[in-house]
Amino acid sequence: MRSCRNTWTLTKRELASYFASPVAYVFIIIFLLLSGSFTFMLGQFFPRGESSLAPFLMWHPWLYLFLVPAAGMRLWAEERRSGTFELLFTMPISPTQAILGKFLAGWLFLGIALLLTTPIVGTVEYLGAPDWGVMRCGYLGSFLTAGTFLAITSMTSAMTRNQVISFIVSVVICLLLILAGWPPITNLILEWAPWNWLVEAASGFSVMTHFDNLQRGLIDVRDLLYFASVMVFALFGTGVILKSRRSA
């Protein structure tokens, strides 16, 4: 009970600090502008003639690739640069509570940005008769992808005081997670080594494979497990890195 309250205290503070700086508003505006323009221009929302969110949601992993590291790079880097890291870790809270609290704040923030895109749902509903289950599933997939990228950014942010380094490293890792299951890349692997199991193993690591399943409206435990395990792994990694940063 006490531990939940500590985590929530940290989450509240961190979430408030997002909105105390212009970063939050810049992030939200850019996210809405890009996701909107991608949907209607690149995604060919109208010519498709489908009442689905596919042309909208399909771009999310690519948007998150840059936007989530930008939103999360300060998580620990800033804390270490300003010295409040020392304050936090001499309070009677456990490292798990601290890591989880800060991560949840970032995730909630991304969730708020995602919720602000719901007018597109209204548009689809107005124009046709969409499948609500598929749309809910698509949003869930988008939210889980954001959380996965954020957990990775949390880890890279713990590695350094420098936010730029944290940003670049997390973009690279997230890019690998996207590309591993992208058809041009999987075809390249197939040409180089014509074994299906290799391609399957590679695309099993990819966010895209699991994101696509959810976009199609399939809720598979394996997909949920994938997102959960990458998040847990990255947050555990954050803990290990923070511990080693404190002792050296």
Positions that interact with other proteins (CB under 8 A): 2, 5-6, 9-10, 13, 16-17, 20-21, 82-87, 89-94, 246-248
In this structure, the dihedral spanned by the alpha carbons of residues 29, 30, 33 and 35, taken in order and rounded to 10 degrees, is -120
Shortest CB 149 distance to other proteins, Å = 24
Shortest CB 233 distance to other proteins, Å: 24
Shortest spacing between CB 73 and other proteins, in angstroms:
16
Q: How many CB atoms lie within 10 A of CB 182?
A: 15
> Shortest distance, CB of residue 248 to other proteins, whole angstroms?
6
**Closest to other proteins by CB, 88 or 214:** 88
Nearer to other proteins, 16 or 218 (CB): 16
Residue 9 CB, nearest distance to other proteins (Å)? 4
Cβ proximity to other proteins, 16 vs 232, nearer residue: 16
Of residues 13 and 216, the one with the C-beta less far from other proteins: 13
CA 220 → CA 22, 40, 103, 213, 223, distances in Å?
38, 30, 25, 8, 5
**Shortest distance, position 88 Cβ to other proteins, whole Å:** 8
Q: Which is nearer to other proteins, 88 or 177 (CB)?
A: 88
Is the CB of 1 or the CB of 221 nearer to other proteins?
A: 1
